[in-house]
Amino acid sequence: MSTTDTTTETAGPGPAPDRCITCEELELARVRDARPSQTLPLPAAALAGLPGGRTSGDITRRRLLAGGIAGFASVYGSRLLGFEEIFEAAVAEAAAPAQNCLVMLYLAGGNCSLNTVLPGTGAGADYAAYTTARAAIHRQHGASGAVVGSQDIPGAGGALAWANPVVSSGGGGDNGSPTYGLDQLYGDGTAANSRLAFLPAVDYTPSNFSHFDSADYWFAGGLTAMTTGWLGRWIDQNGSATNPLQAISVDTALSKAIRTSVNPVCAIPSTSALGFSMNAVGGYGMPPYPPGPSAADINAQMAALGALQAGASNAYLRRSRATYGLATDVAAAGPTINSQTAPTVTYPFGDLGDKLKLTAQLLAANLGTRIVTVHWGGFDTHGGQVTTQDPQLKTLSVALGAFQADLAARGLDQNVSTLVFSEFGRRVQENASGGTDHGAGGLMMLAGSRVRGGWAGEFPGCKPADLDPTGNLKVTTDFRSVYQSILTEWLGGDTSGLLPGSPFLPGVNRHDGQGNTLFQ
């Protein structure tokens, strides 16, 4: 999301601006100085889990495309790859024992951590400092009223609280879902009962408060100019030379985080529906018109047509009807494999829900995918923060809960973890526009069934004496330390050459006493 104004941007300390000039936060996360090397048609059969089989004879171009195309992938690689070469590699990798996968969710624009996780009922001096600094936009304790409320985080002794927009209605919050929310993922905060770890003050030092520089640093995994992403270098070191589906950006362009130098990766913005449909616009709809028949009606008719026997001498008709049959078989398999959770799992309406639903579908297709990136949101809340941040926090909390439930229903949750972050936090002091300006010490979260949930990073306090010289939260965890833990504990491999300074970066210093690890 971008915002535009004629005012001058002031990042960090100084006069509060109204809005940034053309803050293209989502665009900053995308590779724009390289074009895709090729476009790969995505067979509907592949996204349905290859129901026709996984042998060499089953995954020929003709056979896979006979069931229709669900979408297209923009492939970024060092050479052109053959269609069958790609799917043979994907099938071969998928045949290996289940491997861990990472979903990277970037919250564009600089999410305000202090209005997501704030001082709780037991943090007297910190909470007083928080409400003083944020007289107009602070959260109160308890239920929401004229002021948005918050709920103490279990196991934190009242030190910290979840803002009600990320808390389920079942937990006393405002996100509108009785079952999905950060509170539900977090549980009681113990390793045995928590699927969410949070680190409340993650960044790099010294922070420079720039969308441009910070986005590049976070996606590169270092504080210098780099031509590849931190996860892209991992793919170069550990990935396939022929399977671009090993790392996917659910976007119109590639995420800088998975940009490689050698091995292929791809971007997939969306997929179309499986099966047959009829366009009821322009005179081509079937009766009744409008609105025309349902997709199920049309697929049933096409399946019946495919079942009709063609004469022995009419090879073309026989092939056509076999194609109809294959396409409807794929359409029938698709809901079972890719939407098996409905109606028990309901994603929130909108872009994030759609992207995470597609992510679960891609992982369920079992095509050797190890990394998926999702970019979402417009968190550059220089003005009207409560009315702009809170709806996004509600969507985020419900979407993460639905995604985790979807993964569990598909039997994937033990091998998928989700990293959530923004390029920086916001200043402690609100501005005159009811918002906050670029700051430091943002919130980072990890979700997953094998994540060591709990309070995983120190909170530095928000009293004036506890802030850094620029009036921001002190950074207690370097983002590269979290990356190092993800690489060593989850994805595996040698971090030397992947992160500058690794493997000698400081470890994560957990507040909750569960050691310095992020995974079980």
Tokens of 129: 């400092």
Q: Residue 25 — very low, low, confident or very high, per pLDDT cuts 50/70/90?
A: confident
At residue 14, the pLDDT reads 43
| pLDDT exceeds 70 at position 290 | no
| pLDDT exceeds 60 at position 278 | no
At residue 330, the pLDDT reads 56
Q: Residue 319 — very low, low, confident or very high, per pLDDT cuts 50/70/90?
A: low
| pLDDT exceeds 50 at position 291 | no
Which has the higher per-residue pLDDT, 272 or 42?
42
* CA–CA distance, 462 with 132 (Å, rounded to integer): 11
The mean predicted confidence, pLDDT, of the chain is 88
Candidates 103, 48, 42; CA nearest to 361 is 48
Candidates 407, 444, 403; CA nearest to 423 is 444
Candidates 172, 197, 167, 192; CA nearest to 182 is 167
Which has the higher per-residue pLDDT, 3 or 230?
230
At residue 142, the pLDDT reads 98
* CA–CA distance, 17 with 27 (Å, rounded to integer): 21
Measured CA to CA in angstroms, residue 216 lies from 31, 211, 228, 483 at distances of 11, 8, 10, 15
At residue 512, the pLDDT reads 95
pLDDT digit string, tens, across residues 28-78: 999 999 999 999 999 999 999 999 899 999 999 999 998 889 999 999 999
Would residue 302 be called left, alpha or beta, if left means φ above 0 and alpha means ψ between -120 and 50 degrees?
alpha
| pLDDT exceeds 90 at position 397 | yes
What DSSP string describes 497-518? TTSTTTTSSPPP--SSSSTT-S
Residue whose pair of structure tokens reads 């590049």 in the numeric block:
216
| pLDDT exceeds 60 at position 498 | yes
What integer is the mean pLDDT of 112-126? 98
Q: What percent of the chain has pLDDT over 70?
A: 85
| HSE, side-chain direction, 13 A CA sphere, residue 452 | 21
What integer is the mean pLDDT of 123-142? 98
Measured CA to CA in angstroms, residue 203 lies from 157, 342, 501, 514 at distances of 25, 38, 16, 22
What integer is the mean pLDDT of 334-353? 70
User: For domain 23-31+105-271+345-491, which CATH number applies: 3.40.720, 3.40.50, 3.30.300, 3.30.460?
Assistant: 3.40.720
At residue 326, the pLDDT reads 60
Sequence letter at residue 39: T
Cβ pair 276, 327 in contact under 8 A = yes
